[in-house]
Amino acid sequence: MRALKTAILSAALALGIAGAAQAAEGVHIPKQSWPHAGIFGTIDKAAAQRGFQIYKEVCSACHSMHLAPIRTLAGIGFKEDELKGIAAGYEVHAGPNDAGEMFMRPGVPADRFPSPFPNDQAARAANGGALPPDLSLMAKARVGGEDYIYAFLTGFEEPPPDVHVMEGMNYNKVFPGHQVGMPNILQPDGVTFADGTKATVEQQAHDVATFLTFVAEPHLDARKQMGVKVILFLLVLAGLMYAVKRKMWSTLH
């Protein structure tokens, strides 16, 4: 018993210390409110569609999203013909043809989003040595997830007077080390939303973070719905079992 208590105490202590260490070296990432949070939450499709527009018009100049097929967008409400139109707007590398040559052709929904650079070296060369990471799983790759993406995109600011920012780098208050190779890219009204939503920097950061959350886990909504159904089923089953148990034991008393 004592051994168990000691084990539990030391585990709690270790967790506590780890937590404190993380808080000390990391920057506080404020939590935003997301309609997709919680077990009943679902992706805000209108926001995710606006987020896709931002990815397409702004982020995709530097960032790939090479794990996502274009047809993934069906999950945020794009119809089949819209998907075909979006896909056809991309030129994808294909081949080889009968002559053994690679060629370019318009995309189809089954293609993955094409990368802006032919390889990592070209991507680095165009970005002052920094590699723009692939965004397919970004919402899962950083502690804080979508809250981090939001904080990062809205976190560019003038450096404090005692901080010297290296050439080609930018100051970002949440990026580890604060110096980042990505420029402050979101501008007020930098995009024009078809649904009339005002494109403030915060709005754009929120929408693109919603979109990247969807891309990182396109079946999240379905998974949650299944979870709720399973729990309902188990509750009903538990009720039935209880009724059966009472019925069977009633003759034994």
Applying CB under 6 A, the residues found at the interface with ligand HEC are: 54, 58-59, 61-63, 127, 130, 132-133, 138, 142, 149, 152-153, 175, 180-183, 185-186, 208
Give how far Cα 177 sits from Cα of 4, 86, 101, 130, 239, Å.
41, 38, 45, 14, 55
Least distance in angstroms from the C-beta of 176 to ligand HEC: 7
Question: Which residue number has the CB closest to ligand HEC?
Answer: 59
Nearer to ligand HEC, 51 or 107 (CB): 51
How far apart are CB 212 and ligand HEC at their closest, in Å?
7
> What sign has the CA pseudo-torsion 16, 18, 24, 30?
negative
125 vs 119: CA distance, rounded Å? 10
What's CA 65's distance to the chain center, in Å? 11
CB of 23 to ligand HEC, least distance (A): 18
* Cβ closest to ligand HEC, residue 78 vs residue 175: 175
Q: Which residue's structure tokens are 């939450």?
A: 41
CA distance 205 to 184: 12
Tokens (6 digits) for 204: 């754009």
Q: How far is the CB of 153 from ligand HEC (least distance, A)?
A: 6
Q: Which is nearer to ligand HEC, 94 or 130 (CB)?
A: 130
User: What is the smallest separation between the CB atom of 224 and ligand HEC, expressed in angstroms?
Assistant: 24
Contact 68, 112 (CB under 8 A): yes
Q: Which is nearer to ligand HEC, 127 or 200 (CB)?
A: 127
* Residues 203 and 64: beta-carbon distance below 8 Å: no
The encoded tokens of residue 81 equal 């013909």
* Nearest distance from C-beta of residue 126 to ligand HEC, angstroms: 8
CB closer to ligand HEC out of 16 and 176: 176
CB nearer to ligand HEC: give 48 or 59. 59
CB atoms within 10 A of CB 59: 23
